[in-house]
Amino acid sequence: MRALVTGGAGFIGSHIVDALLRRGDEVVVLDDLNTGFAQNVAAPARLVVGSVADEDVVREAVSGCEVVFHQAAHKAVLRSIERPLPTDTVNTHGTLTVLQAAADAGVRRVVHASSSSVYGGATRLPTPEDEAMMPRSPYAVSKLAAEHYCRVYSELHGLETVALRYFNVYGPRQRPDATYAAVIPLFVHALLAGRAPEVHGDGLQSRDFTYISDVVDANLAAAAAPSASSGNAYNIAGGRSWTLLDILRSLGELLGVDPRPVFLESRAGDVRHSRADASRAERDLGFVCRVDLDEGLGRTVEWLRALPPESG
């Protein structure tokens, strides 16, 4: 199979590329390298440097592909609040550009990276896919709009689409030195450096953390699932949640340190609690998460320990 992975030089996308190459697929990567790294793209994948919002570049990259794994996005909630227009250009317009090019090129299926942020502050925990959507940031709005475009292209153009709502993905290649770094690499980096980790709010907000290899497996399952899954969205998570203070305690045990966080103001756009009902993904895609939190944190710490000092 020939596949296109947009955002394939980034954290999640590069792991998908590796999995596709291991099974012998031909892989094209489209990435603008604003947050991704060319060294993340393993040979023999072909790297095309450009934006998913550039119609000509996308058409060239998608030519001859059977499946598109659409991972490219502006991912940070805070960045979307500070700069909503670039977020919308990549996440909404970029997704529409990918869908149109895929439909024109005869692509069989587009697997789209969505987000648990589309729910906002969900009233039901664990949260099923039919929960009312109340996005709380431009990022979340853009992800929900992209989901609707996927569904519409499935209904109007016969392009199979599956949207995956990721819940707090973590693991190797998620860097602590990114401008809007995620909480787990930031915590680990601070503890390794002997600094107090920063916690926004009281630390009792909870998240359903999902290890990167499980997200990769979900994408492969979504690409191969029966056509009845087309047009649907699925929660991708283990269905358990931990507070930020729980995460700090676990990391402290792994690193042999006593975490003493500094508490800062809560951040705009954050939700208090998230936890997925992932039963639909198990039913329709045959997918369940397999890596528990302790194992995933251990692998993540090993990778972050090996980073050179200038990386963060």
Q: Which residues are catalytic?
A: 139
Cα separation, 226 vs 209, whole angstroms: 27
Task: Cite the beta strand spans of the chain per DSSP E.
Answer: 2-6, 26-31, 46-49, 67-70, 109-115, 160-166, 169-170, 198-200, 206-207, 210-211, 232-236, 242-243, 262-264
| Token output for 237 | 């998570």
C-alpha 102/C-alpha 98 separation (Å) is 6
Centroid of chain to Cα 115: 7
For residue 86, whether the previous peptide bond is cis, meaning omega lies within 30 degrees of 0, is no
Record the tokens describing residue 163, joined without a space.
């949207």
β partners of residue 200? 264
**56-61 long-range contacts, Cβ below 8 Å, gap at least 24?**
57/30, 58/30, 58/97, 58/98, 58/101, 59/101, 59/104, 59/105, 61/4, 61/6, 61/28, 61/30
Tallying the residues shown for the chain, one arrives at 312
